[in-house]
Structure 1
Amino acid sequence: MIRIILLAFTLGSVGSSQYFITEPEDVTANIGDEVILKCVVGDREGILQWTRNGFGLGTDPELPGYPRYSLTSDLSLKISPVSDQDVGEFQCQIGAGDTSRPLRSKPAKISVQLPPGVPVILGGETGVISVNEDSIEILECESAGGKPAARIDWRDESGKPFKLDMVDTRTMKEDKNQTFKTISSVRYKVERAMHNKTVICSAINIASTESKNTKVRLNVMYKPKVSLGINSGAGLIREGDNVILHCEADSNPAPYSYSWRKNGAILPGELTPYLVVEKIDNSFHSARIDCEARNSLGSDTAGKSLTLQYAPIMVLQPRSVTGKEGDEVTLSCGATSNPPARYIWFKDSNPQPIEFSDKIKILVSEYSVGTYRCEAVVEGFQNAESKPAVVSILEKPRIGTVETQFGYIGEDLEIICPVVSKTQSLNITWYYRGRVLQEGGKYLMGRKSEDEKIESILRIRKPTELDFGEYGCRADNDIGADYTSIQVQIRSNFNILEYLPFIGSGVAGVFLVLIILLVVYCCRRKKPENHLISMNSEKPIIRASRDLSNKNLDLEDGYRPNIIDIYGNEPSQDRRLQNVHPEFAGYYGNPHLNSRRDEDRLSSRSSSQSTLPPALESWSRPPPNGGRRSLSPNASEGVDISANSTLSSVLSGGSRSSRYSI
């Protein structure tokens, strides 16, 4: 009651003085919001003005210069939209009136909340960050300008939180406008599955209507991961197929080299992701094929064993066997193939199979002996046939004929005993002077075998004179035995009998050569008929011009032709031509071997009026009537064959010798 009385007294004493009904309050707003600072004055007499941070906004109700500011009907300050420039203290002031003193409201603070800036991932300015597989990496994202400080989150492109090992977030205040910068660091282990994945950093605070994001793509670098592929359809490979193997490598960066191995051995020249095998053969069956791809971070290898279907190949041949009558023997054969082969046995030339197994048991008898063979069968491939094997009845061994054998004293000596046996199971015993020789010391024993032929060899080291003489060789088996004596003699340094065959062969060869030379010599000395032979000027010319129709001329009947050389001289009577047929002429450097008839001599003299000798003159002018010249083996000799048609016809037969030009 007392307070009411005092208030009434006061109001009565002051009169109607102006006063604040509502004063502005502190406001927190977001950028873009609308803010109204209330200032309601009762009994206002003075002029109203708003101040910001102590500076007046002016008394003009339109508030020129402040387009976002306006006064409401009750003179409250309306700010729309709010920006970060509006941060500060605002005050409502009323000027003094006639009866009122000036008024100032309490200051009201406007706090503006700012959304964070667009975050930035350090190192990801290009949008890509390259990292290595299995390494520990750190991503750092920062967002500035937020008020209050932003919250930063990490996620992948699907919106799921990014797989992180550790997150570290720190905030710092910026002095300029009292905003905040938020930095978030994450540590993670790089996995191959992260390659080409997008990492998103988002920043948000209470001033944000939505988060602000930035993103980078992870380029994970990793070594090759290799797998091996085959273009064989369902995986079935047949012998003779063309096969391509593909080395599929997942790596970043791509491999820069490839290599191929077969059973651990490198295949030279194969440097591409593809291995092409043309007409694949059975050597690849069960073979391990490996491919290696390499890049800058390392290498990886993948491989597999190939399964190949291929024709049978006989690897176990049946062997001939000999047994006693009534014995049971077994023949076996085997082939490698895929799939496994079936086996068929045949006997002799009979096309009917007798067994369907890889083994056949035979009871030795006169009816079962013969030749057996087996075939390996794989469907779709050619059969493989074994070599023939002979089943025979055991007989006693036979020792072949042995000639006397020779050796030198002091030089190792080998004595050979040839044995024929259908089986290798036999005993061979050596004897010397009635005693059995045992292997050891100076005696070495061995044998060589080829089919049914066996050579037993007794080797004597550095024999003395006492080691030469008669040796015995005995071969025996379950059926019987055979024995022979072998004479071993000392070989002299030179034995004419040993070399006699060679000497005889040499002498026969020499005689054969002499006979051939004699025949050739006689043939070359044979003189042709009706030939006219001219020699050079230094040798006599022999002409035979007697009647050629007389074929029975003989110097023995008393005919003696005149012999004249080319110079017209007659030789003495004791040098007359003997035993030469008048139709033939020959030149051997003897002037007496010139036979001619008288009329031919006269014709020759009349035609030799030239200053040149006849032999030279014939080369100084062309032959008459277009005749031909024939050159002798000596370049200076020739024959004129145009004058005698009979001679010309003889010459046309082409007979010639190494000493004549005919």
Structure 2
Amino acid sequence: METRLLEPMESLISAFVLITFLQTALGAQEFYRQPTHESAVQGSSIVLRCIIKNRDGTVQWTHGGFGLGTERNLPGYDRYTMIGNTNSIDVDGNSIEEYSLKIDNLQLIDDTNYTCQVSPGDSDEGIISNMATVTVLVPPSPPILSGKVTIPVTLEKPTNVTCDALNGKPKAQITWKKDDVRIMENTYELTTTQPDGKRVDTRGIVTITAQPSDAGKKIECGAWNMALKEGEPLWTQATLDVQYAPKLTLTHSNPDRTIREVDEVKFTCSGEANPFQITWRWYRNGELQADVNGYQYTIPRITRDFHGQIIRCEAENSVGTTAVEHSLNILYGPKFKGDPAHVSVDQGERAELVCEAEGNPTAEITWRRQNKYSVLHTGSIYVIPSVREGMFGVYTCTATVLGFHEISRDIYVTENGPPQITSDATQYASIGDRAMIQCLSISSPKPIFVWSRNSQPIDYASSGRFSAPEEGLPFGGKSSLQILDVQEEDFGIYNCTVINTKGSATLMIKLEKSEEVQMAVIIGSAVGGVAVIFIIVIACIIYYKCRHSDNESYAETDSNTEIKKRDKNESPSEMTKSTLMDQWRQDYNYRYSAEFDDVDAKVGNTSGQYVCYDTERYGTMPTNHTNGHLYGEGVDDLGPLNRFENSYSTGYIPSTFRSPSRTDFTSGRVSANELASGRTSVNDFTSGRVSATDFTSGRVSTTDFSGRASADLVEPFRLPTADNTTSKLATNV
């Protein structure tokens, strides 16, 4: 019984020993044949060989590193199949199995790397074949010449003819022929790889210098690569059409005279070409005139800006482009270049005054003292070798061009001195707003501003809210200390120090909190102001008509005219005095607000008072920093400031009364009717056309102003002292 049970077990052991012996004797799994690199034309079929000896694992192909599967029909890959016999045994008794990969209808997607792999078996390790690369060859598309039927070439001028062979893999080689004769010289190729990284576009270029005999000849382009049969390139051909570019002539409507500013000018471009289908383009100084079409270009009103510019006519046909140009010569009057360059020097120093003007013909420059007729110098630069006391003042340069009106501008020569600060000592801001503390300095030469607080310079970088932009002015400069989002601790004293090479000045400026005004008060004041202005306008119109009627009733030769006029007027009321005074104060605040004329000069001191001159309008100059005089020659010397009154030498001078002297108001040469009728204005006092003797000659009494002025304003001609402690005066300078 025991013997029967042991027999099957002995059989199993014997079989196991036999299998182990056979595996050892026959060897491990290995490749009998591995795949190799292959090249084939797109659309054909290829086979990658993979034969395995003593296979123990599972076979799989990879395509670009990705497995295709283990089944022979490779589901999901219709064009891929594993083929070959799996039951062969060689002479040594080794099993031979084939798992070759067949690819039908080869496409560019098949252009990649392949490997044959066998997974590990029960007793063998996995194996991987050599990597095989499949190269898919793609023939180029039929070549395309730059012209389908005819190719235009320029007569006796090198012309490039192109031929494109696209989509080739590898790139196509281009061959040229002219009338069946191979062209070997002046040929080039350019290649561009397509986005798929495999196909290449090839452009062949041949440079032809056409001769008359080349007209009608045949030119051929051939494209070939390895996807085509040897010696059988793809050909295309065209006929040479020898042409020439347009030949042009440019004329304008003023051929016999020079073009003058504001003239209408018509330009005409004419020519010939083969072919004659021409596209016209016009350029002015290189800029395309897109709204101009055709062979004519009209400028209805030419200006000086056109002078020296180039008018270009460009004609293009299928062969090429030709252009002709005309340089414009425009006659025009003088015009100054840049801003006036004022000069500040010390006495005895050299002063160089520059005044440049453009014009065609060239502008001639002459120099005079203001309101003088004698010529000091001719030329754009006037040099005073050593400036003496009487030479400071205003110089006028005049630019003249023959046939045009002359123009003039004033250049100021000022004396250097220590800076002076003319800003208000008290300025205002509101919490949460942006404060603007302004420091205006009269300074020759230009000043340097330094802001400090509590004896420490302000650190703009670390503060984050403080900045101090500066502005250059004709007679000094302005620095504005800006404070963003004003806080309670920002109110207080700020120190503005101004430095130039002649000295320095300091002003302690107090920033105070501005009082808030109720909106109702603002609206009420605005409405009331409009109503008052309306009433005044109506009253002035009625008054003017009445006075005009009265004036007509009097004869100018009547010896009783002035007595009758005085009898017709009553003494000015207190309201009239206040109105005229307010007008003068408003005139001051307007002229010296933040929007002042940048040629005005202001001289003051650290008390916050001003001495102001309208230099642009009246041609005056700021005072000398040491004695309060202006220097000039003859009537150019304006004399000391205290010619008005001692109280005004450092106070406010209303802009309405800058030029006349005080004595002009006591000579009496004007009647109040002239003021009321509009024939004489307050400006007449400033221009010197009216003398104040009219007030004392017996022809005019102070009552003749009828509300326009009071006697207090004529004698002794004073304004009340300005209030520097309120915000009524302009703080923006």
TM superposition score normalised by structure 2: 0.36
Pair member with larger Rg: 1
TM-score, normalising length from structure 1? 0.40
Greater RCO structure (CA 8 Å; 6+ sep): 2
